[in-house]
């Protein structure tokens, strides 16, 4: 068994055992070329056959692991553990994160066995772009958040990054934080992004809020996505935040998992 950097010639083999990963298929075919060009794409070989794959991305304050797959005929052989151990060995960051759907019990068990803990639970929801009116606005300075952020991370193109004061200032400069206020107080806040891997999808992640303010923001991003000609909106909401809206379709629950390396 060995783990090596992926080559273009590995593509057909990997996509062959990834195509039926989930009931709806898999997204590896959509991102393979970008990941392979960018680097950090690894495959696992057993007896000269490629039977595993994963991608690693390095950020300033953390390392992100994604797209880990093992050929169905080669599971329960410890290959997932081997790849995650390899990911930990090639990073110099102290924090490593990954996200797993809550129903993917084998992967959750594997991550926990290696010292990863559930940091936050995020629900993926969907909306359709539409013309809407809303009183929500783009935040222009950090104090507008009023210290209400209840998440230590935020979703950015299916990667969860640390949300600290420095990052909040950067996001405000990029005009990516949307807030809803009432009588001078911020009711809700969130961050929008455009997926690097799926450019037709508009994404938004709430980092805090009460329902009234969140509804104003949801209408704001429906209108924003409509004006920007996006086809679909993905909304990430922490499971601990409650919201009901007939135009918001709830999807899967995901566990954001974290490990601090020593």
Give pLDDT, residue 200: 85
For residue 32, what pLDDT is reported? 96
Lookup: tokens for 55 = 């991608």
154, part of any domain: yes
The candidate with the shortest Cα–Cα distance to 167, out of 149, 180, 194, 184, is 149
Please report whether residue 104 resides in a domain. Answer: no
End-to-end alpha-carbon separation of the chain, Å? Answer: 26
Start-end of H helices in the chain: 11-18, 28-38, 79-89, 105-113, 165-173, 211-227
Q: Which domain holds residue 50?
A: 2-93
What is the model's pLDDT at position 151?
86
pLDDT at 197: 78
Outline where DSSP puts E strands in 11-148.
Answer: 41-46, 49-58, 63-70, 95-101, 117-127, 137-138
Position 103 in a domain = no
**Domain edge (last residue) among 73, 93, 113:** 93
Structural domain contains residue 217: yes
The CATH number assigned to the domain holding 80 equals 3.40.630.30
Helix residue ranges, H only, 121-187? 165-173
Phi, psi (5° rounding) for residue 217?
A: -70, -40
Residue 48 lies in a domain: yes
Q: Give me the pLDDT at residue 199, please.
A: 81
pLDDT of residue 149: 76
Is position 110 within any domain?
Answer: no
| Residuewise pLDDT in 10s, the chain (262 residues) | 999 999 999 999 999 999 888 878 899 999 999 999 999 999 999 999 999 999 999 999 999 999 999 999 999 999 999 999 999 999 999 999 999 999 999 999 999 999 999 999 999 999 999 999 999 999 999 888 877 777 889 999 899 999 998 999 999 999 999 999 999 899 999 999 987 778 889 999 998 888 999 999 999 999 999 999 999 999 999 998 888 899 999 999 999 999 999 8
d(CA 36, CA 83): 17
| Residue 208 pLDDT | 87
β-pairing, 63-70 with 95-101?
A: parallel
Q: Is residue 237 part of a domain?
A: yes
């Amino acid at each position: 068994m060995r783990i090596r950097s992926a080559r273009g010639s590995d593509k057909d083999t990997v996509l062959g055992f990834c195509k039926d990963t989930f009931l709806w298929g898999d997204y590896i075919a959509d991102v393979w070329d970008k990941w392979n060009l960018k680097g950090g794409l690894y495959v696992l070989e057993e007896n000269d056959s490629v039977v595993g794959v994963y991608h690693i991305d390095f950020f300033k304050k953390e390392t992100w692991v994604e797209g880990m797959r093992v050929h169905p005929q080669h599971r329960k052989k410890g290959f997932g553990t081997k790849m995650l151990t390899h990911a930990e060995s090639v990073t110099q960051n102290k924090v490593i994160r990954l996200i797993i759907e809550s129903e993917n019990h084998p992967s959750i068990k594997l991550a926990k066995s290696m010292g990863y803990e559930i940091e936050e639970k995020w629900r993926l929801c969907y909306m359709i772009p539409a013309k809407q009116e809303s009183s929500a606005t783009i935040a222009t300075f950090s104090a507008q958040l009023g210290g209400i952020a209840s998440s230590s991370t935020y979703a950015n193109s299916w990667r969860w990054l640390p949300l600290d004061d420095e990052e909040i200032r950067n996001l405000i400069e990029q005009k990516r934080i949307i807030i809803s206020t009432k009588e001078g107080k911020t009711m809700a806040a969130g961050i929008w992004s455009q997926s690097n891997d799926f450019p037709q999808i508009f994404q938004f992640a709430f980092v805090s809020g009460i329902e009234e303010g969140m509804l104003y923001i949801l209408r704001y991003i429906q209108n924003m996505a409509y004006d920007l000609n996006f086809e679909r909106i993905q909304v990430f909401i922490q499971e601990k935040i409650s919201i009901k809206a007939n135009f918001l379709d709830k999807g899967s629950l995901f566990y954001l998992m974290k490990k601090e390396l020593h």
